[in-house]
Amino acid sequence: MEEKMTVGVIGAGTMGAGIAQVAAQAGHPVLLADARAGAVEKALDTLRATLDKLVAKQKLSSDEAVAIHGRIRPAASVADLAPCGLVIEAIVEDINVKKQLFRELGGLVAQDAILATNTSSLSITAIAAACRQPGRVIGLHFFNPAPLMPLVEVVPGMATDDGLAIRCAELMRGWRKVPVICKDTPGFIVNRVARPFYGESLRMYEEGVADMPTIDQALKDIGFRMGPFELMDLIGNDINFAVTRSVWEAFFYEPRYKPSLTQQRQVESGRLGRKTGRGYYSYEAGTGMPEAKPDPAVAEAITRRVLAMLINEAADALFLRVASARDLDLAMTKGVNYPKGLLAWADERGAAYWVDVLDALQAEHGEDRYRPSPLLRRMAASGLSFF
Ligand SMILES: NC(=O)c1ccc[n+]([C@@H]2O[C@H](COP(=O)([O-])OP(=O)(O)OC[C@H]3O[C@@H](n4cnc5c(N)ncnc54)[C@H](O)[C@@H]3O)[C@@H](O)[C@H]2O)c1
């Protein structure tokens, strides 16, 4: 059997440990490094427990589990990653720390080795610029938990070599992942297109359209696995607020992405969600979830408004060539489990319907946030569909 290249993973936290598991499951020898003493050993112990559970559930044979675990070896320092054909960085989300690492890596690995970053919010182009050969630097954005979520956003920077994104997408397919290729723009696909799911729901709550459980229930009734408030509590309101804020700032304060004061106050209060026992809902023992107030007209108004904003966001990403229509829809179904791709969803009623919804919202609110994407308007005028 052909020997697989060695994959280096730097950062043995939530994402790095998961990515190392994925690479090892795909048959690669993996070298795992972390600056914090004991972090790699802890990740390997956790992986052993995870693999044991998979064996108990008969999803893996015990031989396979031993082989996967055995393929991951600790690297004492970044210098040990010299033999790697691909290095994936999953360290702290700090541009200066990442740049320093890529500066170091550039002089360390073979000329043809690929250097990837798992950053969620930083510019790939900026990270690559620190490396002696920016052409070999690319974003490989996995989703949490990496072994379970199929999506990988493959993000070439401005100086990334032509063809590297296609090669990486091919490699990710070999790892049984679903790659999508997207432009190096803030939030890539998922963290950009999903913003209105939270933002518009918070706005409706603030305007008194409905309470939180009613908004959550309406969206679950059309196929979303969790409502926005439940999901923000799961993600952590501090994290969700920080992502929204970073996307808003990175787009030079585009009004569509404006963060919510309600969420800011929530963060200030320390009610961060499940992890603190209280967020929008209480998770303390003995407290049940509040009931939604069923009302078909209210539910229709909620879902129409959130879907119109999500569809507009996906259409605008297509308009600005962030990704193809196919990849935009794959990203939302495979990265955040949306019940359908947003552009396919738009096609069900046709673009003209959604432009009318957005025009009515803009007329009512007088806010730029509701302006339809030029592409959605063009499709409405021509009667064309996305697929
Ligand atoms: N957590 C998520 O849901 C998620 C999803 C996708 C992408 N990301 C991105 O993945 C990266 C890692 O996130 P995480 O949640 O796994 O963080 P984490 O805090 O769980 O792990 C980061 C690890 O990196 C180590 N580290 C920090 N600086 C280092 C350095 N200079 N050299 C070597 N090791 C270093 C830390 O000791 C820690 O073990 C970030 O860029 C984040 O934006 C996170």
Is the Cα torsion angle 104, 108, 111, 115 positive or negative in sign?
A: negative
Model pLDDT for residues 100-132, shown as the tens digit of each residue: 999 999 999 999 999 999 999 999 999 999 999
Does any ligand 1 atom lie closer than 6 A to the CB of residue 36?
Answer: yes
* Strand stretches in 211-312, DSSP E: none
Give distance in angstroms: CA of 334 to centre of ligand 1: 22
Q: What average pLDDT does range 335-343 have in this prediction?
A: 97
385 is catalytic: no
87's enclosing H/E stretch is strand 86-89
For residues 48 and 70, what is the distance between their CA atoms, to the nearest angstrom? Answer: 10
Mutate to test the pocket of ligand 1, among 19, 22, 32, 34 (most ligand atoms within 8 A of CB): 34
Q: Is 61 a catalytic residue?
A: no
Distance from Cα 17 to the centre of ligand 1, integer Å: 10
pLDDT, tens digit, 9 for 90 and up, residues 16-38: 999 999 999 999 999 999 999 99
For 193-226, the pLDDT digits (tens) are: 999 999 999 999 999 999 999 999 999 999 999 9
CA nearest neighbour of 163 among 144, 132, 143, 138: 138
pLDDT digits (tens, 9 = 90+) for 301-328: 999 999 999 999 999 999 999 999 999 9
Q: pLDDT band for position 287 (50/70/90)?
A: confident
Whether the bond between 372 and the residue before it is cis, its omega within 30 degrees of 0, is: no
Judged against a pLDDT cut of 60, whether residue 355 lies above it is answered with yes
Distance 10 CA to ligand 1 centre (A): 9
Look at residue 288 in the predicted model and tell me its pLDDT. 84
Distance 192 CA to ligand 1 centre (A): 20
How far is the C-alpha of 294 from the C-alpha of 307, rounded, in Å? 19
- Measure the CA–CA gap between 211 and 189, rounded to whole angstroms: 29
7-181 fold: Rossmann fold (3.40.50)
Q: Where are the domains of the chain?
A: 7-181, 192-382
Environment class of residue 283 by beta-carbon count within 10 Å: exposed (0-12), middle (13-18) or buried (19+)? middle
Residue 2's pLDDT band (boundaries 50, 70, 90)? low
Confidence grade of residue 144 (pLDDT, cut at 50, 70, 90): very high
What pLDDT is attached to residue 1? 55
Does any ligand 1 atom lie closer than 6 A to the CB of residue 97? yes
The active-site residue out of 118, 191, 246, 312 is 191
The hierarchical CATH code for the domain 192-382 is: 1.10.1040.50
